[in-house]
Amino acid sequence: MIDQCVYFTLDKAITKSQDHSKENLNFLKQVSNPTKLSILRELIKNEHSISYFARKTGLTIPGIKKHIEGLENAGMIQRSSSRYSISSLGRIVLASVNSFSFISKCREYLNEHAIELLPPEFIYRFGELKESRLITGQMRGWETSKRLACEAEKEYFCMADQAAIPLFEFIVKKASSVKYHLLLDEETTVPKDLRNVKKRIHWDRYVKQGLIEEKVVHSKIILVINEKEALVTIPHKDNTGIADTTSCLLSSDENFCKWCRDLFRYFWEKGSPFDDSKFKYVP
């Protein structure tokens, strides 16, 4: 459905563009064709022959050859012997189409949230979020975050603006088998008993052993990541001072998870040593 929207929009742009050269129009036509896009998506994974694409699409050899030749003439793919591979230009085109697909699918969410809080290089990589889905409802968001923590097998990343005591107790229970990376917002409000709880569960011992890493950073973005799945939520544009826990993007897609891990590492590098004396403690 989203791809159809991409094709329709591009075709519409082509029809209305009167000042484009013939060469530019031909280039856009290659991008707006669903069969050609499916070829690019296959070639970004591996090299293939014309016969492979004929079987994959159900087209005849002459039929698929026309699509291949169009992409080759546009410089998006290249031939080596009897096999084809995607070119650097083809990769850029595919990334741009994927970004458009994500933006089209999540346009309401993007328009309602403070996307400017993201580093520009991650906005440029929006195509990697194409396979994500929107989760709405605060309870669903909390349950999903908890599930990701429970399902972590080797490593768990969490950037949050809340320091709930159950989270610290849960982390210690699994710290012997899972490495935890905890990044808290420097303006986090924490329970008054947290210091006593951390002493009781021997939190510092796990930190010294390197099983738990913790830092503070200024950010209202929430990230929850394990080996197989990731979640991200961005503050609402009308209230950038608090995290939005009512809606989030979730996916097990490899590209989405990598985007989230890279974003976590971006903030981790900007983080400061953990100092819970700076937090605001409440009863």
What would the pLDDT profile of 133-190 be if each residue is shown by its tens digit?
999 998 998 899 889 988 999 999 999 988 777 888 888 888 888 999 999 998 888 8
CATH topology of domain 2-95: Arc Repressor Mutant, subunit A (1.10.10)
Between residues 22 and 63, which one has the greater pLDDT?
Answer: 63
Residues 55, 7, 120, 179: what is their CA dihedral angle, to the nearest 10 degrees?
Answer: -40
The CA-atom distances, in angstroms, between 149 and each of 138, 152, 162, 166, 181 are 17, 5, 15, 12, 12
Tokens of 178: 């899972």
From the list 168, 172, 152, 151, the residue with the least C-alpha distance to 160 is 168
Q: How many CB atoms lie within 10 A of CB 220?
A: 21
pLDDT in tens, 243-278: 888 999 999 999 999 999 999 999 999 999 988 777
> Taking the alpha carbons of 86, 91, 92, 93 in that order, is the dihedral positive or negative?
positive
Contact predicate 235/113, CB 8 Å: yes
Q: How far apart are CA 138 and CA 281, in angstroms?
A: 24
pLDDT of residue 192: 83
pLDDT of residue 14: 44
- Provide the percentage of residues in the chain whose pLDDT is more than 90: 51
Q: How far apart are CA 283 and CA 125, in angstroms?
A: 42
Contact predicate 133/238, CB 8 Å: no
Q: How many CB atoms lie within 10 A of CB 91?
A: 14
Top mean pLDDT of 3-17, 124-138, 189-203, 236-250 is at 124-138
Task: Tell me, yes or no, if the pTM score tops 0.95.
Answer: no
Which DSSP string corresponds to 6-57? HHHHHHHHHHH--SS-HHHHHHHHHHT-HHHHHHHHHHTT--EEHHHHHHHH
From the list 246, 218, 250, 216, the residue with the least C-alpha distance to 232 is 250
Question: Phi and psi for 58 in degrees, rounded to 5?
Answer: 80, 10
Question: Phi and psi for 256 in degrees, rounded to 5?
Answer: -60, -45
From the list 36, 33, 14, 127, the residue with the least C-alpha distance to 84 is 36
- Domain extent listing, the chain: 2-95, 112-282
Alpha-carbon Rg for the chain in angstroms: 23
Domain 112-282 is classified in which CATH homologous superfamily? Endonuclease Chain A (3.30.870.10)
pLDDT in tens, 55-86: 999 999 999 999 999 899 888 999 988 899 99
- Provide the percentage of residues in the chain whose pLDDT is more than 70: 90
